[in-house]
Chain A
Amino acid sequence: MEQVLAFALLGLGPGALYSGIALGVVLNYRGCGVINVAMGAIAALGAYVAYGLRTGGYLFLPPLPLVPAHVNFGGPVGVVPALVIAVLVCALTGLLLDVLVLRALRNASPLAKLMATLGLMLSIQAIILLRFGSSGQSAPDVLPNGPGDVVHLLGVTIPSDEFELAGIVAVAAFALVAIYRWTRFGLATRAASENETTAVLVGLPPARLSAMNTVLAASLAGALGVLVAPLTQLDSTTIPLAVVPALGAALLARFTSFGIAMVAGLGLGVIESLVTYLQSRPWFPTTHGAQLPGVADLLFFAIIVAAMYWRGGALPYRGSLVERRLPAVPKPVRLQRPAIVCAVLCITAFLLFTYDFRQAAINSLIGMLVCLSLVVITGFVGQISLLQVALGGVAAFAVSKLSMSAGIGFPLGPIFGVVIASLVGVAAAASALRVRGVNLAVVTLAGAVALQSFVFDNPTWGGGFTGSPVNPPHLFGVDLSTQASFPTGGGQLPSPVFGLVCTVAVIMAGLLVASVRRGRLGQQMLAVRSNESAAAAAGISVRNVKLLAFGLASALAGVAGSLYAYNFGSVTADRFGVVNALVFVSFAYVGGITSVTGAVLAGLGVTEGVFGHILEKWVGVPASYQLYVAGLLLMATLITLPEGIAGGRRPPPPIRAISRLIVGPGRARRTSAAVGATQGGATS
C-alpha cells in the first residue's frame, strides 16, 4: 500500500508539467481561440534556455542569417536570473506568435490556427536539435533536491520538489481563476472570447487582449518547463510531446476551467506513475518478458474518450464553428484528362529519374495517399482526424505480420491490412461520434499516441525497436517490389516497377475521391460539414455519413501504409508516430485540404518527398535544417494563404496555370454545365 502511495506521489512532478502546459493551453484558447499545440515546445524552449545559461553561460539563438548562434554571458548564470531570462524568452516567443502569426489568422479556421502553432512547435524542436543535438541532456536542479529535501508521509519518503511543483501549479491555477474573475483584464478577455464584435463595440482592444493572454500562457509554460526539466529528460521530444496529455487535460476542462485543467493534469501524471508501479507487479502482462509499452498512453486515450462520451455534445463555442469556416470545396470538372496527364507524367518520371528522385517521387506518391485520406475526412466532412497516419501504420504492420507469420502476401495481405485499418478507423469514429471539430483533433491525437506506443512499439504486435520485416510483393509471378528488375533505372533501388505500382494506386485513389466529391455521397458529406443539424433535418444520416467517411479515409490511409511497408521492406514505429501525423496534416492543409489537387501538392511537399529532395540536392538546404525551414514555411504559408495553396477560391497564378494545363481549359464554363448536369441527374 505504501508503495502505491509513493508511486502516486511521484507522479506529481510530471503531472505538474502536464498541468502547467494545460493551463497555458486553456489560457491561450480563452485569450484568442487557438489550440496551441506548441505549448509543450515552449516549455522545452524555456527549459533549454535555462540549461544553456546555467551550464554554459550562454543564450542560444535560432539559426538566422547574420545572427550569431550564442550570446555569451561569460560564465554560468545563477538559478533565478536563468529562470527569469528563460521566462522572458518564452514570453517573447508568445508575443511574436501572437503578433506575427495568430493576428493574421484571426478570421481563419481553428484548424489553420492549430496548424500555425504546429509550425512553431516544429521550428522550436528543430532549433533544439540544431543547437543541442539529438542525444538529450539532464538539466541541473532548480528546486532544492538534496538528500535532506524529502517529505515523510504515511511511511513513505518523497522528494519535496514533487509537492512544491504541485503547489506551484495549484497556485498558478488559482491565480488565473482570480485574474479572470476579478480583474478588468480577465473580465475583458472573457467578454472578448465570448463575442469579439460586441467586445469591440464596447471599446475593448481584442488584439492587445489576445497578445497579453498568449504572452501569459507562454510565460507560464516556460516557467514550468524550467522547473520540471530536472525531473525528466531534456531533449527535443519529451517535453514538447507532454502537450498531448496536457491537451487531454485541457479538453476535460472544456478549454475553459483552469481548476479542472490543473487537477486533470496532475491526475494524469499520477495515473502514469501508478501504471509504472503496476507494471512492476509480477501478474501484470508482459511481452517477451519485457514491460508492455504505452499502457499509460492507452489509458489516457481511454479516459479522454470516456470523458468526451460522458459529456457528449458539450463543445467549446469557438471550436464548434470549425466546420463553417473550412475552405471551399471545388468540384472537379473532369476526371479523365487529369488522370491520364498525371499517369503519363508519373510514368515518364519513373522511366527517366535517377534512383534518388525515384525514391523521393515514391515518398511523395505515398504522401498523396495519406493527404487524400485527410481530404475526405477533414476537407469533405470537416472532422479533424490526426489518426490517419497511425491507421496507415496499422495497415503496414498488418501487412508485415501477415506476410511473415501467416505467409499471406500480395495482394491479399494489403487487402486485409486495408480492411483492418478501416475497421480500426470506423471503431475510432464510432467512439468519437459525439466529438467534433478541434476537440476531435485532440481525441484523435491521443488515439494516435496510444496506437504508436501501445501497438507499434510493442515487439509482438508492432515493430519494437528493430522494425518488422515484410516479404516483397509478387503478383502472378511478376516481381512488383522495389528490387524488381527493369530495363531502365540502372538497377539501383527503388525499381521503377514499384513506382508504377504507387502511381496506379494514387491515380485510382484520386479518381475515387474526385468522384465521391461529384456524387451524392459527396453532397451529403458537405451537408454534414456545413451544419450537422440541418443535414439531419434534410434526411441525411449524419452518423452513417461520418462512419462511411471515416471508413473511406481509413482505407486510403491503409493503402498508403501498405505501400510504405513495401517501400522500405520493414515497418518501424516512428514512421507512423504522432509527430509525423502532425506534419502530414499540416502539409495537407497547406496544399489544400479540400481537393485532390491540394493532396497532390501536399504529397509533393512532404518530408523526403520531391520538393524536399530538390531543396536538399539543388538548393543546398541540409536535411538537418529542413524541419526548421518546414516549420517556418508552414507558418508563412498559413499567413499568406490561410485556406491552403489549392484550397482557396482563387489559387495563386502558377498553381492555376499548372492546373489549367492538367485539367484543361474552359473550367468556368464547364463548371456551370456540370452543375446543370448533376442537377438534372438528381431530379430524373
Chain B
Amino acid sequence: MASPVLQLEGVSAGYDGATVIRDVELTVDPGEIVALLGANGAGKTTTLRVASRILRPISGTVRFEGEDVGRLAPHLLAQRGVAHVPEGRGVFFGLTVAEHFRLGYRGERLDLDHALSYFPALEALRDRRAGLLSGGEQQMLALARALARRPRLLLVDELSLGLAPVIVERLLPTVRRVAEETGAGVVLVEQHVQLALEIAHRGYVMSHGELVVERPVEELRRDRGLLIASYLGEGSAEPALQGVPGTGGRGG
C-alpha cells in the first residue's frame, strides 16, 4: 500500500499562544475519505488549517506523502497538490467563474474540463462574478476550482454551511466520486453527520481539541451512543440519550 497522503503526528496548534488542538494523530490514505466530526469549537477547522500549513503547528509533525512539510510555505504546499476549500466559500467574489480557472500560480494548468465533468452546471455561469452566485453555486465553484487542480489531498471544511439540504445531498456524493476516480485523499469536516458518514470510509471525532474516537464509518453509524457521547463529552452519553432524544437529530 502507498504511503498515506496526510499524516499528523502528535500535532498541537493554536492561536496567539492558546492551544486549540492537542496531540492530534490522523492519517489519510490515497483514495480514502475521512470524516472529521465533532461539536462546534472542537478544533476541526484548526486541524485542517494545520494540514494545509496556513497555521504552523506548535509541536508535532505534518507529513504530506511521507515528507515533513511543517516548515514549508503554505502556498508551496498548495502547489504540491493540497487543495483546501476553507469554511465559508473559498472563492473570490470579484472574479468571474471563468477567471477562477484562469487564475493560478506560474506554470499551473487548470483542468477545466475535468472540473466541469463533475459540475456541468458551472458551464452556464462562466461570465458571472462569483459574488453574484448563490451559496450553492459558490460552493460548487470552490469545489470545482479545487478539483481542476487535480489535488492529491483535498481538505473540505463545512461544505454544507448555510446550504439547503437538497444541495448538500448533491454536492457531497461528488466528493466520493472524486476520491474514487482520482485517488485523492479527502478530509471532510462536516456538521451534516449523517451524510458525511454515508460517503466517508473512516470517521474521527474531535472533542475539546483532541481526537477521541477513530472508527470505520459502519461502526459509527451503528453505535449512535458513541457518537453522541463524544459530541457531548465523556460520561454524559446516557443522560443525554434519555433526556434529549432530539439530540440524535444532528446525526440523523
Interface residues of A (CB under 8 A from B): 184, 187-188, 190-191, 194-195, 197-206
Asked whether B92 lies within 8 Å of A194 as measured between CB atoms, the reply is yes
Question: Which B residues touch A191, using CB under 8 A?
Answer: 92, 95, 103
List residues 37-53 of chain B with CB under 8 A from any CB of chain A: 52
B79-113: CB near A (< 8 Å → 1, else 0) gives: 10001101000111111000100111110100000
Distance between A290 CB and nearest chain B CB, rounded to angstroms:
50
Asked whether B94 lies within 8 Å of A202 as measured between CB atoms, the reply is no
The answer to whether the Cβ of B78 comes within 8 Å of any Cβ in the partner chain is yes
List 10 A-B pairs, minimum CB-CB distance, nearest first: A203-B78, A203-B79, A203-B105, A191-B92, A187-B103, A201-B84, A200-B75, A200-B74, A194-B92, A198-B90
Question: Which A residues touch B240, using CB under 8 A?
Answer: none
Beyond the given pairs A187-B99, A198-B91, A202-B83, 18 more chain A to chain B contacts, judged by CB atoms under 8 angstroms and listed by A's residue number, are: A184-B102, A184-B103, A188-B103, A197-B54, A199-B75, A200-B54, A200-B75, A201-B78, A202-B90, A202-B103, A202-B105, A202-B149, A203-B75, A203-B108, A204-B104, A204-B105, A205-B105, A206-B75
Distance between B12 CB and nearest chain A CB, rounded to angstroms:
21
Question: Bound state CA distance, A205 and B104, in angstroms?
Answer: 10
Asked whether B84 lies within 8 Å of A194 as measured between CB atoms, the reply is no
Question: Which B residues touch A205, using CB under 8 A?
Answer: 73, 75, 105
Closest to B102 in A: A187
Distance between B49 CB and nearest chain A CB, rounded to angstroms:
9
The answer to whether the Cβ of B192 comes within 8 Å of any Cβ in the partner chain is no
Total number of B residues with any Cβ neighbor in A under 8 Å:
26
Question: Bound state CA distance, A199 and B52, in angstroms?
Answer: 13
Closest to B145 in A: A202
Closest to A191 in B: B92
**Residue in B54, B73, B84, B103 with the greatest tally of chain A CB atoms within 10 Å:** B103
Interface residues of B (CB under 8 A from A): 52, 54, 73-76, 78-79, 83-84, 86, 90-95, 99, 102-106, 108, 145, 149
Asked whether B104 lies within 8 Å of A203 as measured between CB atoms, the reply is yes
Question: Bound state CA distance, A184 and B102, in angstroms?
Answer: 7
Q: What would be 25 A-B contacts, judged by CB atoms less than 8 Å apart?
A: A184-B102, A184-B103, A184-B104, A184-B106, A187-B103, A188-B103, A188-B104, A188-B105, A190-B92, A191-B92, A191-B95, A191-B103, A194-B94, A194-B95, A198-B92, A199-B92, A200-B74, A200-B75, A201-B54, A201-B83, A201-B90, A202-B78, A203-B76, A204-B104, A205-B73
Question: Which A residues touch B86, using CB under 8 A?
Answer: 197-198, 201
Distance between A104 CB and nearest chain B CB, rounded to angstroms:
16
Question: Which A residues touch B78, using CB under 8 A?
Answer: 200-203
Question: Which A residues touch B52, using CB under 8 A?
Answer: 201
Distance between A454 CB and nearest chain B CB, rounded to angstroms:
39
Question: Which B residues touch A199, using CB under 8 A?
Answer: 75, 92
Distance between A315 CB and nearest chain B CB, rounded to angstroms:
15
Question: Which B residues touch A204, using CB under 8 A?
Answer: 75, 103-105
Distance between A177 CB and nearest chain B CB, rounded to angstroms:
14
Question: Bound state CA distance, A199 and B100, in angstroms?
Answer: 11
Which among B74, B94, B99, B103 is the interface contact of A201 at CB below 8 angstroms? Answer: B74
Which among B90, B95, B104 is the interface contact of A190 at CB below 8 angstroms? Answer: B95
Distance between B47 CB and nearest chain A CB, rounded to angstroms:
15
Given contacts A201-B52, A201-B78, A203-B79, contact A187 B108 (CB under 8 A): no
Question: Which A residues touch B84, using CB under 8 A?
Answer: 201
**Residue in B54, B75, B93 with the greatest tally of chain A CB atoms within 10 Å:** B75
Closest to B103 in A: A187
Question: Bound state CA distance, A298 and B98, in angstroms?
Answer: 45
Question: Bound state CA distance, A515 and B79, in angstroms?
Answer: 54
Asked whether B105 lies within 8 Å of A190 as measured between CB atoms, the reply is no
Question: Which A residues touch B106, using CB under 8 A?
Answer: 184
Distance between A390 CB and nearest chain B CB, rounded to angstroms:
37
Question: Bound state CA distance, A195 and B83, in angstroms?
Answer: 16
Asked whether A195 lies within 8 Å of B92 as measured between CB atoms, the reply is yes
Distance between B135 CB and nearest chain A CB, rounded to angstroms:
16
Question: Bound state CA distance, A197 and B84, in angstroms?
Answer: 11
Closest to B105 in A: A203
Question: Bound state CA distance, A149 and B110, in angstroms?
Answer: 52
Question: Which A residues touch B93, using CB under 8 A?
Answer: 194
Distance between B94 CB and nearest chain A CB, rounded to angstroms:
5
